Amino acid sequence: MSVAGINVLVEETRARQAAAAPLLAVEGVSAYYGSVAALRDVDIAVGEGEIVTLIGANGAGKSTLMMTIFGAPQARTGRIRFAGQDITRLPTHAIARLGIAQSPEGRRVFPRMSVQENLQMGASLHGGRHFAEDLERVCTLFPRLKERLQQRAGTMSGGEQQMLAIARALMSRPRLLLLDEPSLGLAPLVVKQIFGAIRDLNREAGMTIFLVEQNAYHALKLAHRGYVLVNGRVTLSGSGRALLDDPAVKAAYLEGGIVEASTIAEAKA
Amino acid sequence: MDVFVQQLINGLTLGAIYGLIAIGYTMVFGIIGMVNFAHGDVFMVSTFIALIGFLILTTWLGIASVPLALIVVLLVTMPLTALWGWAIERVAYRPLRGSFRLAPLISAIGVSIFLSNFVQVAQGARNKPTPPMLNGGFTLFERDGYAVTLSYKQCLIMAVTVILLAGFWYLVQRTAFGRAQRACEQDRRMAALLGIDVDRTISLTFVLGAALAAVAGVLYLLYYGVVSFSDGFVPGVKAFTAAVLGGIGSLPGAVLGGLIIGLIETFWSAYFSIEYKDVAAFSILAIVLIFMPSGILGRAEVEKV
Q: Residue B139 pairs with which residues in a beta bridge?
A: B149
Q: Which of A99, A122, A126 is nearest to A24 (CA)?
A: A99
**Is A154 in Cβ contact with B190 (below 8 Å)?**
no
Residue A230: burial class (beta carbons within 10 Å; 0-12, 13-18, 19+): buried
- What is the per-residue pLDDT for A255? 67
A203-232 mean pLDDT? 93
Q: Which of A27, A47, A53, A22 is nearest to A39 (CA)?
A: A27
Q: Which DSSP category does B35 fall into? A: -
Boundaries of every domain in chain A: 3-99+179-268, 104-174
Is B158 part of any domain? yes
A17 pLDDT higher than 70: no
Angle separating helix axes A115-122 and A158-170, nearest 10 degrees: 30
- What is the per-residue pLDDT for A258? 41
User: If you average pLDDT over every residue of chain B, what do you get?
Assistant: 90
B278 pLDDT higher than 90: no
Q: Residue A45 pairs with which residues in a beta bridge?
A: A25
Residues A68-79 have pLDDT tens digits of 999 989 999 999
Q: Give the confidence band of A4 by pLDDT, cuts at 50, 70, 90.
A: low
Is B261 part of any domain? no
A201 pLDDT higher than 80: yes
Give CA torsion, residues B232, B233, B234, B239, to 10 deg: 80
Higher-scoring residue by pLDDT: A209, B294:
A209
- What is the per-residue pLDDT for A5? 64
User: If you average pLDDT over every residue of chain A, what do you get?
Assistant: 88
Is B213 part of any domain? yes
- Give yes or no for a contact between B188 and B56, defined as CB atoms under 8 angstroms apart: no
Per CATH, the number for A3-99+179-268 is: 3.40.50.300
Is B241 part of any domain? no
Poorest-pLDDT segment among A6-20, A26-40, A210-224, B57-71? A6-20
Q: Give the confidence band of A7 by pLDDT, cuts at 50, 70, 90.
A: low
- What is the per-residue pLDDT for B208? 94
- What is the per-residue pLDDT for B262? 94
Residues B220-230 have pLDDT tens digits of 999 998 899 98
Out of A104, A154, A155, name the one closest to residue B193 (CB).
A104
Is B203 part of any domain? yes
- Neighboring chain B residues of A155 at a CB cutoff of 8 Å: 304
Straight-line distance from the first to the last Cα atom of chain B, in angstroms, rounded to the nearest whole number: 52
- Give yes or no for a contact between B46 and B182, defined as CB atoms under 8 angstroms apart: no
Residues A119-161 have pLDDT tens digits of 999 999 888 789 999 999 999 999 999 999 999 999 999 999 9
Q: For residue A5, what are the contacts with CB-CB under 8 A and spacing of at least 6? A: none
Residue type, A189: L
Domain that holds residue B223: 15-232
Residues B123-132 have pLDDT tens digits of 988 888 887 7
Q: Which of A175, A165, A189 is nearest to A82 (CA)?
A: A175
- What is the per-residue pLDDT for B302? 46
Residues A179-198 have pLDDT tens digits of 999 999 899 999 999 999 99
Distance (Å, whole) CA A173 – CA A175: 7
Q: Got the DSSP string for B94-161?
A: GGGTTS-THHHHHHHHHHHHHHHHHHHHHH-SS-EE----S--EEEEEEETTEEEEEEHHHHHHHHHH
Distance (Å, whole) CA A115 – CA A137: 15
A164 pLDDT higher than 90: yes
- What is the per-residue pLDDT for B301? 56
Query: Taking phi first (over 0 means left), then psi (-120 to 50 degrees means alpha), and beta for anything else, what does residue A6 get?
Result: alpha
* Cα angle: A138, vertex A144, A147; to 5 degrees: 100
Higher-scoring residue by pLDDT: B98, A45:
A45
Q: Give the confidence band of A262 by pLDDT, cuts at 50, 70, 90.
A: very low
Residue type, B82: A
Going from the C-alpha of B153 to that of each of A87, B45, B161, the distances in angstroms are: 56, 21, 12
Distance (Å, whole) CA A220 – CA A227: 9
B87 pLDDT higher than 50: yes
Distance (Å, whole) CA B113 – CA A76: 40
Q: Got the DSSP string for chain A?
A: --HHHHHHHHHHHHHHHHHHS-SEEEEEEEEEETTEEEEEEEEEEE-TT-EEEEEE-TTSSHHHHHHHHTTSSPPSEEEEEETTEE-TTS-HHHHHHTTEEEE-TT----TTSBHHHHHHHHTGGGTTTTHHHHHHHHHHH-HHHHHTTTSBGGGS-HHHHHHHHHHHHHTT--SEEEEE-TTTT--HHHHHHHHHHHHHHHHHH--EEEEEES-HHHHHHH-SEEEEEETTEEEEEEEHHHHHH-HHHIIIIISTT-S-THHHHHHH-
Coil, strand, or helix at residue B33?
Answer: coil
Domain total of chain B:
1
Q: Which chain B residue's Cα is nearest to A70? A: B193
Percent share of chain B, pLDDT over 70: 98
Q: A 157-186 residues with CB below 8 A of B?
A: 168, 172
- Give yes or no for a contact between B31 and B110, defined as CB atoms under 8 angstroms apart: no
Out of A93, A112, A128, name the one closest to residue B186 (CB).
A112
Q: A 188-227 residues with CB below 8 A of B?
A: none
Out of A93, A124, A155, name the one closest to residue B176 (CB).
A124
Higher-scoring residue by pLDDT: A210, B251:
A210
- What is the per-residue pLDDT for B289? 81
**B42 HSE (CA, 13 A, CB side):** 35
- Neighboring chain A residues of B191 at a CB cutoff of 8 Å: 121
Coil, strand, or helix at residue B75?
Answer: helix
- Neighboring chain B residues of A117 at a CB cutoff of 8 Å: 179
Q: B 92-111 residues with CB below 8 A of A?
A: none
- Neighboring chain B residues of A108 at a CB cutoff of 8 Å: 187, 189-190
Q: Got the DSSP string for B237-305?
A: HHHHHHHHHH-TT-HHHHHHHHHHHHHHHHHHHHHS-GGGHHHHHHHHHHHHHHH-TT-SSPPPS----
